[in-house]
Structure 1
Amino acid sequence: MSGIDGNSTVTVRYFAGARAAAGVTEERLPCGLDRAALVAELSSRHGARLGAVLAVASFLVDGMAWHDHGATLPAGATVDVLPPFAGG
């Protein structure tokens, strides 16, 4: 990926409806984004359909729920985007 150093990125992985809306399984973004900036960047890249999913999705950072929305993503982190699941 041009312009993004692998040592200063985060990996965003999409699951279920988020994967369908993004059109990709995963991608890399620059580190240092807070949750609002991450959502804005992903919505800008992939459009309103993903933006709607992100508005109701849960986010895990390195396997832990991302509760502090002002915290920035450190280099090397993995962010899992989990839309609400239905079923039983």
Structure 2
Amino acid sequence: MISGYLMDRLGRRASQILLSVFYIGGWTIIGFAGNIHFILLGRFITGFCQGWLGPLGPVFVGEISSPAYRGLFLAGLSLSIASGVFMS
């Protein structure tokens, strides 16, 4: 619900850029963490951003791709997510 509001308020591309900045910030905190508290803070930030970025990706791909290739691109996106989960 919140990511839908953010997409409508800021737009799809601006929402992805804004959330990606926070996502990179979370990974930076994890990378330079000196103790477990900073690792947990970074994981919280990245998890929060990932939850918001999850719906943004397919919507953005669906909007910018041509109708002839939209299904292929969205299936490829889903396949890449499932492959990453399988490999981990």
TM-score by length of 2: 0.29
Q: Looking at secondary structure, tell me which structure has more strand per residue.
A: 1
Query: Which has the greater radius of gyration?
Result: 2
> More relative contact order in 1 or in 2 (CA 8 Å, sep 6+)?
1
TM-score by length of 1: 0.29
